[in-house]
Structure 1
Amino acid sequence: MDLTVNEKRVLSVLAGKTSCTDAELAALLESPAESAVQWSHLCADRGLAVVEKQVEKTAKLTEEGEKYAAEGLPERQVLSVINGTIPMKELTAHPLSRIAIGWLRKKNWIIMDKGMVSVNHEAALKNLTADAKGTAELVKRGLAVIEETVSWTIKITPEGKALADAGLDLREEVGTLTRDQILSGEWKDLALRRYSVDKLPKRIYGGRVHPNQQILDEIRDLLFEMGFTEFHGSIVQNAFWNFDALYQPQDHPAREMQDTFHLAEELPLPEGWEQVREIHMNGGSTGWGGEWNPEISKKCVLRTHSTSLSIQHLAKNPNPPLKAFSISRVYRRETIDPTHLPEFEQLEGIVMDEGLTFGHLLGFFKEFFGRMGFEEVRFRPGYFPYTEPSVEPEVWVDGLGWVELGGAGIFRKEVTAPWGINCPVLAWGLGVSRVSMLRMGLKDLRQLYKSDIDWIRNSPARRV
C-alpha cells in the first residue's frame, strides 16, 4: 500500500497507543492540529485508522448578558420598583420598561387593570428561578450564545497496527526534482513520492449552461449553418398580428384554436391593415365574409405562437430570397401536466423564394431532424388556417414510436398578398421543448424548467 510519509508518521505514533486526541497527536507529530486530523482522515479512508468527532456545546454570555448578570434581568429590575399598585404611566417611566414590560406580561408577573399595575405575587414566586435555568430563552433574547468546540479521537485499526509493526520507511519523500538532482544522479537515492494515476481528481463544479438552453443553442447554430438569419419580436402582440394577419377570422372558431391570455391594453394597427381587412371580407373567392372590426384587432394578447413574428418579418422584408427563424417563448392557457405548460419555446421558420415547392419543405425537415439525431422522419397531412397545403412532421423515437413535433405548410396567398409578396413562402412552427425532452429522454416537460442542480451538473455537455 502506497502511503505518504505523513500517513506513515501517524500510524507510527498510533501503534503504541490505544487512542489519541487530535491535540495529543499534533504535539507528538510536531505539526498543526488541522494537519494531524487531515492525515488521520487519509489513514481512515484506507481502513488503517478510525477518526471520531466530538462536539461540545457551551453557553457564553454576550456583553448585554454580562451586564444583566451583574444587575439583574430587566423584568426583575422593574418588578422591584412596583410597590403595591402603581399607575402604568409611572411604570413606563422606568428606563428598562420598554424591554421589561413584555417579559413581565409573558411571565404573568404583573396584573394590568384600568391603567394600574400590580404584582402577581403567586406567579412571581412560582417562577422565581425559571429565568436562571432557561439557557434557550437567554439565547433567543440575545443575552447568550452557544459556542461549539470540536475535538477528534483517533484510533489505529488492526490493519494499521499490522502495517506499522511490519516497519515503515519514514524518510522524507521528494515530490519535485531540481535540475541539479537530475544531472548529478542524486535522484536515484531519493525517496520519490508515489502518485496514484488511476484515481480521478476531485470533481470541480463550475458554471454550466442549462441542458435545455444547450439544445436551443444547438438548434440555433444548426440553422445558422444552413444559411438562416434570426429575427425577434415582442411577447405582447395585438390581435392583428397574432390572428388577423394570419387569416384567422374574428368571428370564427379558428380563432379559438389556442386558449389565449388576453390583456387590457391595446396597440395601434400597422400601415397596410386595410389590405388585411379587404382580404378577410372579400379575398380569395369570397373571403370570410361578415364584418371586420379594427377595434378587435387592437386588443393585446400574449403571443400564442411565434408565427405572429414571422408575418411581421415578412411584412418588413417582402423581397425574396429570405431564410429566417425565431426561437421564442409562446403563451397559452394550458392545464399544467407532464406534457403541457402555459409557456414553452417554439421554433418558427420561413423560407421565401421563387420556385419553392412543398417538396422543398419536406426535404428541409428531413435534413434538419437528421442533424438533430432523428434518423426516421415521416409526414402526416395537417390543417392550419394560414397554410395550404399543411403537414405535421413526426420522428421515430425508440420506446415511444412516432412523435409529432409541430406543424408546417406553405403560407396561403391571403396571408402574403396584403404585403406585396408574390412568391411561395414555406413556414413552420416546431415545439422545441418537446425536442429537448426527446433528446434528454425525459418524460415530464416540467423538468426542463426546474433548477435541479444535480441534473444540470450531470447532464452531458453540449455537442460542438
Structure 2
Amino acid sequence: MSSQYNLTSNEKNALIALETLNDASPKELADKVEMKMETAMQAAFLLEEKGLTKVEETVTEIFELTKEGKKYAEEGLPERQIIDSISGPTPMDELKEKFNPAVAGIATGWLRRKGWAGIEKGMIVPTGNAEKGSDEIVLEAFSGEQKTFEELGADKNVINDLIKRKLVAKTEDKQRKIVITAEGKGLVAAGITVEEEVAQVTSELLKSGEWKEKKFRPYNIHTVPKPIYGAKIHPYQRLIDEMRRIFLDMGFTEIKGEAVQSSFWNFDSLFQPQDHPAREMQDTFHLSTTSDLPVEYKDNVCAMHEHGGETESTGWGSKWSEEIACKNVLRTHTTALTIKYLADNPEAPVKAFSIDRAYRRETIDPTHTPEFEQLEGVVMDKDMSFSNLLGCLSEFYHRMGFEDVRFRPGYFPYTEPSVEPEVYVDGLGWVELGGAGVFRKEVTAPLGIKYPVLAWGLGVSRLAMLKLGLKDLRQLYHSDIDWLRKSEVCQL
C-alpha cells in the first residue's frame, strides 16, 4: 500500500515515529528518528503534500521594553514628568531649562493629545485631569520581562502607540507541530517496510554488481525544479552602462566630479542670476560650508552678470555677490561638472559627458525623487551648429532603441537656442526626456571659451522607466529581489 505513495525511507521513518507520538515538534520528531531537524522537516512537508501529515504553525507575538522604555517605566513618561512638576501655567522655556529639551519637546505633544494640558502663548496650562493612562499601566505590567499580548491584557492600539514611540519592541515566536492524519495512521497500520534506498549510482555499485540487489529512491520527473537565477547586473545599472558605452563609442570622454559644488560653478558660471527661483530652498540643498572662488574667472563672471562684460549683452543688471557665489550646494545638475571641464580645457575640440547623480528638494512620488541620475554632455569645436546638436542626440536615442525622435523648442537660462528632446513610445505618445541647446556667449566668454558649445542634460531615470516598463520611479531603487531576478538581461 505504501508503494502507491512512493515514500522515501526518511518519510517512512518519520511516519512510523509520528504514529507513536501522534504529534511532535520538529525537535521531538528529529530526535525520535535520529535525523537532522532540517531532514526531518523535509520529510514532514513531503508527507503533508501526500495527505499523511499536517504541519501546523502558530505565531506568538512577544513584546519587551526597549532601553528607552525601561527608562520611562522607572522614571515616568515625559508627559507624566512634566505634568507632575507643575501646578499651574508654566512657561515652556522654564520647562526646557528644568528638563532635557528633548523630553520637554516630546512631552508637549502628548500632553495635548491626552488632554492633560494645553498651550497658550508659550505657556503649558494644566487641565487638572491627569489620571494614570493605559500606556503607563502597560509599561508597569512588563516588570522588566518579555510578555505576550495575552499576558499584558492591553488594547492593541495602546501597544502600537508604544511601539511607534519606540518604547516597546515586538518579535515573533514561530512554533511548528507535525500531526499524523487518519490516512497516515491507516497506512502505518497496513504495514510499512523500511528499506535502505540508494539515491545515487556510484562506480563501486556498478563494478561490484551490488546495484542489482539495491532499492533505488524513486524520482518524480514531473516535479517542477526550483528556479535558479544567475547573477546579473541591476537593470538600472545595465542601462547606465549601455548609455555610457554609446557615448564612448561616439568618441566622447567621460568626466567625474564632486557632489558638493560651489554656487559659482553650479549657478553663476552658467549665467543664472543670483535671485533666480532655482536657488530657493525648495529646489536646492544649501550647505553651511563655502568654497574659494576661482581667481581667473570670478571677475569676468561678475562683469557678465552686472553689465554683460565685453560682449554686447547687458547682463542681469544687478549687483553680483561673491558671498552668495562661494556658498556650497549639493549639485542640482551635472552641468556643474561639464562647465568646469570646459573652463579647464578651453582648446578645441572637446567631446565630454558624465552620467552621475544630482540632488534637488523634490517631494517623493512616482515620478520624482530627491536624488536622480543625469546624463550630461558637451561638444565644443569650430563651426559647431544647432543641427550638429540635433544630429548627435538623434543618434544617441536611435542607438537606445527609439525609432521616432523629435525636438520641441524650450527655454533654459544658459542655452540659446534651446530644445527639449522627445521620443515616441507606444501607449504613451511623445515623452520629453531632458533639455539641450547651444551655450550662450554669456556662459562661454567669461571662461575664455572661443568656439560654440553644444550641451545637453538628459533624464536617465525617466529613460530607464520607459525601457524597463515601470510606472513608478522608486522601483529603480527598491531592493525587490523578485523583480531583480526576473528582469530580462539587456543586450548591450
Residue 200 of structure 2 corresponds to: 176
Task: Flag the 1:226–1:163 CA change in 2: closer, same or farther, 3 A.
Answer: farther
2 CA distance for matches of 1:52 and 1:386? 68
Residue 273 of structure 1 corresponds to: 298
User: What does 1:126-205 correspond to in 2, within 5 Å?
Assistant: 137=143, 139=145, 152-158=177-183, 160=184, 170-196=194-220, 198-199=222-223, 201-202=225-226
Residue 427 of structure 1 corresponds to: 455
- The Cα shift of 1:211 comes to 4.8
User: What does 1:438-457 correspond to in 2, within 5 Å?
Assistant: 438-450=466-478, 455-456=483-484
Select between 41-50 and 284-293 the one with higher mean Cα deviation: 284-293
Amino acid at match of 1:286: S
Amino acid at match of 1:325: F
Aligned pair 1:41/2:45, yes or no?
A: yes
Residue 244 of structure 1 corresponds to: 268
Deviations 1:76-110 (A, max 9, x none): xxxxxxxxxxxxxxxxxxxxxxxxxxxxxxxxxxx
TM-score in terms of structure 1 length: 0.67
Task: Flag the 1:384–1:188 CA change in 2: closer, same or farther, 3 A.
Answer: same
Task: Flag the 1:24–1:348 CA change in 2: closer, same or farther, 3 A.
Answer: closer
Aligned pair 1:397/2:425, yes or no?
A: yes
- The Cα shift of 1:215 comes to 3.5
- The Cα shift of 1:422 comes to 3.0
**Contact 2:53–2:178 (8 Å) recurs in 1:** no
Residue 131 of structure 1 corresponds to: none
Select between 165-174 and 219-228 the one with higher mean Cα deviation: 165-174
User: What does 1:2-401 correspond to in 2, within 5 Å?
Assistant: 2-11=6-15, 19=22, 21=24, 29=33, 35-52=39-56, 137=143, 139=145, 152-158=177-183, 160=184, 170-196=194-220, 198-199=222-223, 201-202=225-226, 211-250=235-274, 259-270=283-294, 271-280=296-305, 281-288=308-315, 290-295=317-322, 296-401=324-429
Residue 86 of structure 1 corresponds to: none
- The Cα shift of 1:227 comes to 3.3
> Secondary structure of the equivalent of 2:407?
strand
Amino acid at match of 1:300: N
- The Cα shift of 1:44 comes to 0.8
5+ residue gaps, structure 2, are 61-139, 148-172
> Secondary structure of the equivalent of 1:139?
coil
- The Cα shift of 1:429 comes to 0.4
**Contact 1:390–1:409 (8 Å) recurs in 2:** yes
> Secondary structure of the equivalent of 2:7?
coil
1 CA distance for matches of 2:430 and 2:436? 17
1 CA distance for matches of 2:174 and 2:421? 66
Amino acid at match of 1:299: K
TM-score in terms of structure 2 length: 0.63
- The Cα shift of 1:53 comes to 5.9
Select between 4-13 and 23-32 the one with higher mean Cα deviation: 23-32
Select between 427-436 and 454-463 the one with higher mean Cα deviation: 454-463
Task: Flag the 1:331–1:172 CA change in 2: closer, same or farther, 3 A.
Answer: same
- The Cα shift of 1:208 comes to 7.8
**Contact 1:238–1:267 (8 Å) recurs in 2:** yes
Task: Flag the 1:431–1:33 CA change in 2: closer, same or farther, 3 A.
Answer: closer
Q: How many residues align?
A: 380
- The Cα shift of 1:307 comes to 1.0
Deviations 1:128-149 (A, max 9, x none): xxxxxx99647369xxxxxx99
- The Cα shift of 1:162 comes to 7.3
Task: Flag the 1:193–1:463 CA change in 2: closer, same or farther, 3 A.
Answer: farther
- The Cα shift of 1:313 comes to 0.6
Task: Flag the 1:189–1:254 CA change in 2: closer, same or farther, 3 A.
Answer: closer
> Secondary structure of the equivalent of 1:394?
strand
Deviations 1:5-43 (A, max 9, x none): 2223444666x7793546886687565677544422221
Task: Flag the 1:166–1:376 CA change in 2: closer, same or farther, 3 A.
Answer: farther
**Contact 2:278–2:284 (8 Å) recurs in 1:** no
Amino acid at match of 1:288: G
**Contact 2:380–2:451 (8 Å) recurs in 1:** yes
1 CA distance for matches of 2:175 and 2:474? 44
Amino acid at match of 1:239: S
Deviations 1:340-389 (A, max 9, x none): 33332221111233444333322332332233343332211222222222
> Secondary structure of the equivalent of 1:375?
coil
> Secondary structure of the equivalent of 2:301?
helix
Amino acid at match of 2:299: E
Task: Flag the 1:30–1:240 CA change in 2: closer, same or farther, 3 A.
Answer: closer
- The Cα shift of 1:229 comes to 2.6
5+ residue gaps, structure 1, are 57-133, 142-147
Task: Flag the 1:192–1:225 CA change in 2: closer, same or farther, 3 A.
Answer: farther
> Secondary structure of the equivalent of 2:315?
coil
Select between 258-267 and 401-410 the one with higher mean Cα deviation: 258-267
Amino acid at match of 1:272: Y
2 CA distance for matches of 1:233 and 1:218? 21
Select between 179-188 and 306-315 the one with higher mean Cα deviation: 179-188
> How many percent identity over aligned positions?
55
